């Protein structure tokens, strides 16, 4: 899993050479890999990499987030040359600019661009979403040159649901303190599922769930909840530092985490309807700052989840220049201050981060959370 998580494009190239089938890159956060899988392709969610942004720097604005700048840089370096197509959405303005840059740099690479509605409780949302996924279905058939049978999509939905359920089970065991698994390793579990052949990942998850040592309820370490990073994974060194500072991560809403696995599709529905309902309803399960649903607020979700997970504080990981997150953060800050729950904002960047300098802030936060919990208990 770590190998696939660290080098997803290498894994994809090996899979393509072994199977002779197509590889499709998906951009976070809302497009269903199930449809590409049913077409016989390997869906790979594109992520940033560890390389510094060099030749791509002149092709993208420097006020774009590190994820978008890394995607452009990887394109310029030929990292995505093995892809047969990329599925793009429009969940932020920066991503639109990234799509345009890739089109200009790689005119031979098909871009399947589909615009999903953002007001998910609008009267037309379900109809429009069904139409979008129907169009995507046709585009994938044209790309592969073969019809995608509804039964194949239903089978892919069942397989993806099983994989998500396996990872949710691991999350639940960690939340209850029944297993000891680091944030770095949990990230590898989820990130590898974004790149690997689903049957292979399901088999590995079966092995992991059977073999991981059980223990009694966890002791030591202040339980904290991680929130943010809506498109890509935080740097593992940052997660290590948080845990080394006396915190114990019990849950999160990270994209490379709970956000990716929280919502299943209905296997009993016709597949295009199942995908449409999955999209328009998942905001009620876990709000996204790029979508709107009346009466659903991210800060209310976080307050409830922090309480449910037993966390004593919230660590917000905000990607620098992530406008959707920046717009919502004041509401989160106000809500947690009003409820007297400690929270810490850490701005992250693709380039080198001053982890040691941040450690002092995290240690102070952990101590405050510990004292607040002690005072509350008294």
As a whole number of angstroms, the distance between CA 234 and CA 328 comes to: 19
pLDDT at 41 over 70: yes
pLDDT at 20 over 80: yes
pLDDT at 97 over 90: no
The predicted-structure confidence for 4-14, as pLDDT tens digits, reads as follows 999 999 999 99
| Cα 279 to chain centroid, rounded | 15
More confident residue, 378 or 316: 316
What's 58's DSSP letter? G
Average pLDDT on 194-214 reads: 96
Q: Which of 160, 206, 203 is nearest to 45 (CA)?
A: 160
Q: Which of 281, 279, 27 is nearest to 133 (CA)?
A: 279
pLDDT at 219 over 60: no
Taking every pair of Cα atoms in the chain, the longest distance, rounded to a whole number of angstroms, is 67
Sign of CA dihedral 186, 192, 193, 194: positive
Query: Residue 170's pLDDT is what?
Result: 96
Strand pairing report for 314-319 and 222-228? parallel
pLDDT at 282 over 70: yes
The predicted-structure confidence for 339-376, as pLDDT tens digits, reads as follows 999 999 999 999 877 888 899 999 999 999 999 888 87
CA distances from 71 to 6, 26, 48, 81, 83 (A): 15, 12, 6, 12, 13
Average pLDDT on 153-163 reads: 98
Average pLDDT on 89-112 reads: 87
CATH numeric code, 2-143: 3.40.50.11890
Q: For residue 130, name the pLDDT band (cuts at 50, 70, 90).
A: very high
CA distances from 175 to 3, 280, 338, 368 (A): 25, 28, 25, 22
Query: Residue 217's pLDDT is what?
Result: 54
Average pLDDT on 279-285 reads: 94
Query: Residue 16's pLDDT is what?
Result: 98
Query: Residue 57's pLDDT is what?
Result: 83
Average pLDDT on 107-130 reads: 92
Query: Residue 216's pLDDT is what?
Result: 59
Highest mean pLDDT out of 55-59, 99-103, 219-223, 346-350: 346-350
Query: Residue 218's pLDDT is what?
Result: 54
Q: Any long-range contacts for 177-181 (C-beta under 8 Å, 24+ apart)?
A: 177/215, 177/216, 177/217, 177/218, 178/214, 178/215, 178/216, 178/217, 179/212, 179/213, 179/214, 179/215, 180/213, 180/215, 180/218, 181/212
Strand partners, 85: 24
pLDDT at 112 over 80: yes
pLDDT at 48 over 80: yes
Query: Residue 62's pLDDT is what?
Result: 86
Query: Residue 328's pLDDT is what?
Result: 93
Q: How many helices (H) and strands (E) does the chain have?
A: 15, 8
**% of the chain exceeding 70 in pLDDT:** 98
Query: Residue 59's pLDDT is what?
Result: 86
Query: Residue 376's pLDDT is what?
Result: 77
pLDDT at 90 over 80: no
Average pLDDT on 315-325 reads: 95
Q: For residue 60, name the pLDDT band (cuts at 50, 70, 90).
A: confident
Cβ-contact 299, 318 below 8 angstroms: no
Q: Where are the domains of the chain?
A: 2-143
Q: In whole numbers, what is the pLDDT of the chain averaged over residues?
A: 93
As a whole number of angstroms, the distance between CA 283 and CA 50 comes to: 31
At 181, list the tokens. Answer: 């698994």
């Amino acid at each position: 899993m770590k190998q696939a998580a660290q080098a997803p494009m290498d894994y994809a190239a090996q899979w393509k050479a072994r199977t002779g089938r197509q590889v499709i890159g998906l951009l976070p956060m809302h497009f269903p890999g199930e449809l590409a899988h049913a077409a016989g392709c390997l869906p790979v969610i594109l992520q940033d990499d560890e390389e510094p942004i060099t030749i791509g720097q002149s092709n993208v604005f420097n006020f774009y987030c590190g994820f978008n700048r890394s995607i452009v840089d990887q394109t310029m370096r030929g990292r995505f040359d093995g892809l047969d197509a990329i599925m793009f959405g429009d969940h932020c303005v920066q991503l639109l600019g990234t799509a345009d840059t890739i089109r200009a740099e790689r005119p031979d690479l098909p871009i399947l661009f589909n615009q999903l509605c953002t007001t998910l409780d609008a009267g037309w949302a379900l109809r429009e979403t069904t139409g979008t996924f129907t169009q995507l279905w046709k585009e994938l058939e044209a790309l592969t040159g073969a019809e995608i049978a509804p039964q194949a999509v239903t089978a892919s939905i069942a397989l993806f649901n099983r994989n998500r359920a396996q990872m949710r089970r691991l999350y639940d065991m960690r939340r209850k303190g029944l297993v000891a698994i680091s944030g770095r390793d949990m990230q590898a579990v989820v990130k590898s599922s974004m790149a690997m052949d689903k049957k292979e990942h399901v088999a590995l998850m079966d092995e992991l769930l059977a073999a991981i040592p059980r223990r009694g309820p966890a002791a030591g370490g202040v339980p904290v909840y991680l929130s943010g990073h809506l498109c890509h994974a935080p740097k593992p060194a940052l997660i290590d530092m948080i845990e080394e500072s006396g915190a114990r991560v019990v849950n999160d809403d990270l994209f490379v985490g709970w956000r990716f696995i929280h919502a299943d599709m209905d296997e009993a529905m016709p597949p295009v309807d199942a995908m449409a309902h999955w999209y328009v309803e998942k905001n009620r399960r876990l709000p996204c700052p790029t979508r709107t649903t009346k009466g659903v607020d991210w800060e209310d979700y976080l307050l409830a989840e922090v309480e449910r997970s037993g966390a004593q504080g919230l660590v917000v990981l905000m990607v620098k220049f992530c406008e959707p997150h920046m717009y919502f953060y004041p509401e989160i800050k106000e809500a947690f201050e009003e409820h007297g729950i400690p929270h810490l904002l850490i701005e992250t960047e693709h380039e080198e981060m001053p982890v040691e300098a941040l450690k002092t802030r995290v240690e102070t936060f952990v101590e405050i959370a510990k004292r607040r919990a002690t005072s509350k208990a008294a």
